[in-house]
Protein backbone atom coordinates (compact mmCIF):
# COMPACT_ATOMS: atom_id res chain seq x y z
CA UNK A 1 0.00 0.00 0.00
CA UNK A 2 1.05 3.59 -0.65
CA UNK A 3 -1.07 5.20 2.08
CA UNK A 4 -1.61 3.50 5.43
CA UNK A 5 -3.94 6.07 7.01
CA UNK A 6 -5.68 9.32 6.23
CA UNK A 7 -7.75 12.01 7.89
CA UNK A 8 -10.34 14.06 6.05
CA UNK A 9 -12.12 17.25 7.00
CA UNK A 10 -12.16 21.03 7.19
CA UNK A 11 -12.15 23.54 10.03
CA UNK A 12 -14.69 26.36 10.00
CA UNK A 13 -14.10 29.83 11.48
CA UNK A 14 -16.15 30.44 14.64
CA UNK A 15 -18.03 27.11 14.31
CA UNK A 16 -17.33 23.44 14.98
CA UNK A 17 -15.42 21.84 12.13
CA UNK A 18 -16.42 19.16 9.66
CA UNK A 19 -13.87 16.53 10.72
CA UNK A 20 -15.22 14.52 13.66
CA UNK A 21 -18.38 13.17 15.28
CA UNK A 22 -19.91 11.89 12.06
CA UNK A 23 -22.45 9.16 11.46
CA UNK A 24 -22.89 7.76 7.96
CA UNK A 25 -26.35 8.73 6.72
CA UNK A 26 -26.14 7.07 3.32
CA UNK A 27 -23.78 5.91 0.61
CA UNK A 28 -24.56 6.32 -3.08
CA UNK A 29 -22.61 4.89 -6.02
CA UNK A 30 -22.58 5.73 -9.71
CA UNK A 31 -20.51 5.14 -12.84
CA UNK A 32 -19.80 7.51 -15.70
CA UNK A 33 -18.37 6.71 -19.10
CA UNK A 34 -18.65 9.59 -21.56
CA UNK A 35 -16.57 11.29 -24.22
CA UNK A 36 -16.29 15.02 -24.77
CA UNK A 37 -14.52 17.28 -27.24
CA UNK A 38 -12.17 19.99 -25.93
CA UNK A 39 -12.19 23.44 -27.53
CA UNK A 40 -8.45 23.20 -28.17
CA UNK A 41 -5.61 20.83 -27.36
CA UNK A 42 -3.67 17.88 -28.67
CA UNK A 43 -6.51 15.34 -28.74
CA UNK A 44 -9.87 15.47 -30.45
CA UNK A 45 -11.83 13.60 -27.78
CA UNK A 46 -11.37 12.95 -24.07
CA UNK A 47 -12.87 9.95 -22.29
CA UNK A 48 -14.30 10.68 -18.85
CA UNK A 49 -14.62 7.28 -17.18
CA UNK A 50 -14.93 6.73 -13.42
CA UNK A 51 -16.77 5.00 -10.61
CA UNK A 52 -18.08 7.23 -7.86
CA UNK A 53 -19.04 6.82 -4.23
CA UNK A 54 -20.73 9.66 -2.36
CA UNK A 55 -20.81 9.25 1.42
CA UNK A 56 -23.27 11.57 3.14
CA UNK A 57 -22.31 12.21 6.74
CA UNK A 58 -24.20 13.93 9.52
CA UNK A 59 -22.98 15.38 12.79
CA UNK A 60 -25.64 14.62 15.44
CA UNK A 61 -23.71 16.58 18.09
CA UNK A 62 -23.87 19.77 16.02
CA UNK A 63 -27.54 19.93 15.03
CA UNK A 64 -27.40 17.15 12.43
CA UNK A 65 -25.22 19.16 10.05
CA UNK A 66 -24.47 17.30 6.84
CA UNK A 67 -21.48 16.94 4.57
CA UNK A 68 -20.92 14.68 1.57
CA UNK A 69 -17.49 13.35 0.65
CA UNK A 70 -17.50 12.37 -3.03
CA UNK A 71 -14.80 9.95 -4.22
CA UNK A 72 -14.13 9.31 -7.91
CA UNK A 73 -11.93 6.43 -8.99
CA UNK A 74 -10.52 6.74 -12.50
CA UNK A 75 -8.34 4.24 -14.39
CA UNK A 76 -5.28 6.29 -13.47
CA UNK A 77 -6.17 8.10 -10.27
CA UNK A 78 -8.45 8.95 -7.39
CA UNK A 79 -10.04 12.27 -6.57
CA UNK A 80 -12.30 13.44 -3.77
CA UNK A 81 -14.11 16.59 -2.73
CA UNK A 82 -16.15 17.90 0.16
CA UNK A 83 -19.69 19.09 -0.47
CA UNK A 84 -21.54 21.04 2.20
CA UNK A 85 -25.16 21.55 1.17
CA UNK A 86 -27.19 24.52 2.27
CA UNK A 87 -28.92 23.61 5.52
CA UNK A 88 -30.23 25.11 8.75
CA UNK A 89 -27.53 27.27 10.37
CA UNK A 90 -25.10 26.49 7.53
CA UNK A 91 -25.72 29.04 4.80
CA UNK A 92 -22.40 30.88 5.10
CA UNK A 93 -19.05 29.38 6.14
CA UNK A 94 -15.45 30.56 6.23
CA UNK A 95 -12.98 27.69 5.89
CA UNK A 96 -10.14 28.38 8.33
CA UNK A 97 -8.08 25.22 7.81
CA UNK A 98 -8.07 21.99 5.89
CA UNK A 99 -7.47 18.97 8.10
CA UNK A 100 -6.93 16.46 5.29
CA UNK A 101 -3.83 14.36 5.89
CA UNK A 102 -2.27 11.27 4.34
CA UNK A 103 0.13 8.99 6.22
CA UNK A 104 2.35 7.23 3.73
CA UNK A 105 3.07 3.53 4.18
CA UNK A 106 6.80 3.96 3.45
CA UNK A 107 9.49 6.61 3.14
CA UNK A 108 8.99 7.10 -0.60
CA UNK A 109 11.35 8.87 -2.98
CA UNK A 110 9.91 12.36 -3.28
CA UNK A 111 10.17 15.13 -5.89
CA UNK A 112 9.26 18.48 -4.35
CA UNK A 113 9.66 22.23 -4.21
CA UNK A 114 9.07 24.42 -1.13
CA UNK A 115 5.59 25.72 -0.41
CA UNK A 116 6.00 29.42 -1.17
CA UNK A 117 3.33 32.10 -1.27
CA UNK A 118 5.32 34.20 -3.77
CA UNK A 119 6.73 31.85 -6.40
CA UNK A 120 6.84 28.39 -7.96
CA UNK A 121 10.21 29.09 -9.60
CA UNK A 122 12.31 26.49 -7.81
CA UNK A 123 14.42 23.57 -8.96
CA UNK A 124 12.88 20.32 -7.74
CA UNK A 125 14.60 18.54 -4.85
CA UNK A 126 14.69 14.73 -4.85
CA UNK A 127 14.83 13.20 -1.36
CA UNK A 128 13.12 10.71 0.88
CA UNK A 129 9.78 11.91 2.18
CA UNK A 130 11.17 12.03 5.72
CA UNK A 131 13.90 14.43 4.59
CA UNK A 132 11.60 17.15 3.26
CA UNK A 133 12.71 20.41 4.86
CA UNK A 134 12.01 23.39 2.64
CA UNK A 135 14.20 26.08 4.31
CA UNK A 136 17.33 23.96 4.72
CA UNK A 137 17.38 21.18 2.17
CA UNK A 138 15.20 22.51 -0.64
CA UNK A 139 16.95 24.23 -3.49
CA UNK A 140 15.60 27.56 -2.27
CA UNK A 141 17.34 29.53 -5.01
CA UNK A 142 19.16 32.57 -3.73
CA UNK A 143 18.40 34.26 -7.05
CA UNK A 144 14.72 34.50 -6.08
CA UNK A 145 14.26 37.98 -4.64
CA UNK A 146 10.95 37.53 -2.82
CA UNK A 147 10.32 34.36 -0.84
CA UNK A 148 7.71 33.58 1.76
CA UNK A 149 8.11 29.91 2.67
CA UNK A 150 4.98 28.48 4.26
CA UNK A 151 6.82 26.17 6.67
CA UNK A 152 9.53 23.55 7.09
CA UNK A 153 7.44 20.61 5.88
CA UNK A 154 5.19 22.51 3.49
CA UNK A 155 5.60 21.68 -0.18
CA UNK A 156 3.98 23.00 -3.31
CA UNK A 157 1.61 20.77 -5.21
CA UNK A 158 1.84 18.58 -7.08
CA UNK A 159 3.93 16.43 -4.77
CA UNK A 160 5.32 13.45 -6.68
CA UNK A 161 6.27 10.23 -4.93
CA UNK A 162 7.85 7.05 -6.28
CA UNK A 163 7.40 3.81 -4.35
CA UNK A 164 10.06 1.08 -4.09
CA UNK A 165 7.89 -0.94 -6.51
CA UNK A 166 8.15 1.80 -9.15
CA UNK A 167 4.60 3.18 -8.77
CA UNK A 168 4.35 6.97 -9.13
CA UNK A 169 1.83 8.86 -6.99
CA UNK A 170 1.00 12.54 -7.47
CA UNK A 171 -0.84 14.46 -4.75
CA UNK A 172 -2.42 17.70 -5.92
CA UNK A 173 -5.09 20.10 -4.79
CA UNK A 174 -7.41 21.35 -7.48
**Which residues does 132 contact at the CB level (< 8 Å), separation at least 6?**
110, 112, 138, 153, 155
- pLDDT for res 93: 87
- 54-88 pLDDT, tens digit per residue, is 999 999 998 899 999 999 999 888 999 999 998 88
Residue 92 has pLDDT above 70, yes or no: yes
Nearest to 85, CA basis, from 54, 118, 47: 54
What DSSP designation does 87 have? B
Residue 160 has pLDDT above 80, yes or no: yes
Residue 33 has pLDDT above 90, yes or no: yes
Residue 139 has pLDDT above 60, yes or no: no
Secondary structure in 3-state letters for 130-147 = HHCCCCCCCCCCCCCCCC
- 95-125 pLDDT, tens digit per residue, is 999 888 888 999 999 999 888 877 777 888 8
Strand partners, 56: 26, 68
Q: pTM for the complete prediction?
A: 0.79
82 close to 72: Cβ distance less than 8 angstroms? no
Amino acid sequence: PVVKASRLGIAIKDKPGFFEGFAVERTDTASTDETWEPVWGEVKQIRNHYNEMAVTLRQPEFGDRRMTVRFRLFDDGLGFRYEIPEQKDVNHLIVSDEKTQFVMAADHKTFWIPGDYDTNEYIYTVSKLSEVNAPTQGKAGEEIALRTLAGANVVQTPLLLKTAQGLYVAIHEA
